[in-house]
Amino acid sequence: MKKFALPLVLSLGLTACGSLTQVSPEGQPQSDIKWPEVNSGITGTMPPKQTVRELKTGMHKNDFYNLIGVPHFSEGWDVREWDYLFRVEDKGVMKQCQFKILFDKDNRAKNFYWKPVECAGLYAQ
C-alpha cells in the first residue's frame, strides 16, 4: 500500500499545480491567468464595496485575510495566488464576480484580476 501512496500524493500535487497561474517571484503572471471552476458548493461573499476599494497593491496577505477573509478556493499551501468569489448587486440584479490576487515572494499583492472584467467597475462606483 505504501508504495502506491507516494505516487498518488505526487500526482495529486502536480494536478493542483497544473491548475494554477504561473507566478514569478515578483508577482507577475508567467502564463495565462487561470480561474478556478465555480461550482454550486461555493456561494461566495458580499464584501462592502468600500472594503474592496481599500484593497491595494503592496498589501500583505494578512491584510487581505483581515479585510475579505480566506480565499474561497483551495489553491494549495504557500501559493502566490488567491481566488475569491464575490456577489454584488448591479441595478437590482445579483452578479457573481471572481477576484484574483497575485503575490510576490514576500507575500505582497502585485496584481489584481476580475472575471468578468466588468466587475472591477461595479466596485469602483
Residue 110 φ/ψ, nearest 5 degrees = -120, -30
Structural domains in the chain plus CATH codes: 42-125 (3.30.1450)
What string of H, E and C letters represents the secondary structure of the chain? CHHHHHHHHHHHHHHHHHCCCCECCCCCECCCCCCCCCCCCCCCECCCHHHHHCCCCCCEHHHHHHHHCCCCCCCCCCCCEEEEEEEEEECCEEEEEEEEEEECCCCEEEEEEEECCCHHHHHHC
**pLDDT of 97 above 80:** yes
Rounded to an integer, the average pLDDT of 48-65 is: 97
Residue 79 and residue 99 in contact, taking contact as beta carbons nearer than 8 Å: no
pLDDT for residue 9: 37
Confidence of residue 92 (pLDDT cuts 50, 70, 90): very high
pLDDT digits (tens, 9 = 90+) for 1-29: 455 444 433 333 333 444 589 999 999 99
- Sheet with 81-90: list strands edge to edge: 81-90, 93-103, 109-115
State the Cα–Cα distance between residues 63 and 111, nearest whole angstrom.
15
Is-cis flag, bond preceding 116, omega within 30?
A: yes
Residue 44 and residue 87 in contact, taking contact as beta carbons nearer than 8 Å: yes
Confidence of residue 40 (pLDDT cuts 50, 70, 90): low
Instruction: Quote the cell numbers at residue 32.
Output: 495565462
Percent of the chain with pLDDT over 90: 70
